[in-house]
Structure 1
Amino acid sequence: MANYKNLIVWQKAHQLALMVYRLIESFPRHEQYALTSQIRRAVLSIPTNIVEGYNRKSKKEFIHFIDIALGSIAEV
């Protein structure tokens, strides 16, 4: 059975999320609940949309979720 963790795109998205979380720790305290919160949500949306799309029934649905992930990449 194939696993989403074998997808290079998911591996890269996961690495990006971890890297961004580490980077955010150095942001100023006053950004704790504004900018950093938005960045965290957007960066986590990337690998989670890849996983959701991967588990859909059709290639068309998978592509749709990849498009959503691309939007989140742009946001980050």
Structure 2
Amino acid sequence: MSPFQKKLKRKMDVYVHAVYRLTHSFPKQEMYGSSSQVRRAALSVVLNYIEGFARKRKKVKKNHFEISYGSLNESQYILAFALEEKWIPSEQYDFIYKIGDEIGAMLWTE
């Protein structure tokens, strides 16, 4: 794994852990709704990257990276929704959104 790939994976780790922590402030009735969905989407970001990284064929690798990017966008939308619903504070949203943007940019250079 190159230094770039290690840095990207570290950012993804920070992102998914931050999402998990942030969902603790979601309303209880969202446990099986938005909370569960954003956790799955955030975890999918790093899992699809790892799976794609393990693939030999470029098209298959690229497909997994694109799925990772799609999951990133899905999780960012749910977080924006949570912000608008006032489930999360704007400071935490800004922090996690910035990391997500960095991950998205790095995925496209991979």
Q: TM-score, normalization: structure 2?
A: 0.61
Number of the residue aligned with 1:9? 8
Number of the residue aligned with 1:37? 36
Number of the residue aligned with 1:19? 18
Give the Cα–Cα distance (whole angstroms) in 1 for the partners of residues 28 and 54 of structure 2.
38
**C-alpha deviation, 1:58, in angstroms:** 2.4
Residue segments in structure 2 that go unaligned for 5+ positions in a row: 76-110
Give the Cα–Cα distance (whole angstroms) in 2 for the partners of residues 15 and 33 of structure 1.
23
**C-alpha deviation, 1:57, in angstroms:** 0.8
- SS of residue in 2 equivalent to 1:33: coil
**C-alpha deviation, 1:61, in angstroms:** 2.0
Give the Cα–Cα distance (whole angstroms) in 1 for the partners of residues 26 and 73 of structure 2.
20
Give the Cα–Cα distance (whole angstroms) in 2 for the partners of residues 30 and 65 of structure 1.
32
Give the Cα–Cα distance (whole angstroms) in 2 for the partners of residues 32 and 64 of structure 1.
30
User: Over the residues paired in the alignment, what is the CA RMSD in angstroms?
Assistant: 1.5
Name the one with the larger helix percent: 2
Give the Cα–Cα distance (whole angstroms) in 1 for the partners of residues 6 and 68 of structure 2.
14
Number of the residue aligned with 2:48? 49
Q: Partner letter of residue 30 of structure 1?
A: Q
Query: How many equivalent residue pairs?
Result: 73
Give the Cα–Cα distance (whole angstroms) in 2 for the partners of residues 58 and 11 of structure 1.
24
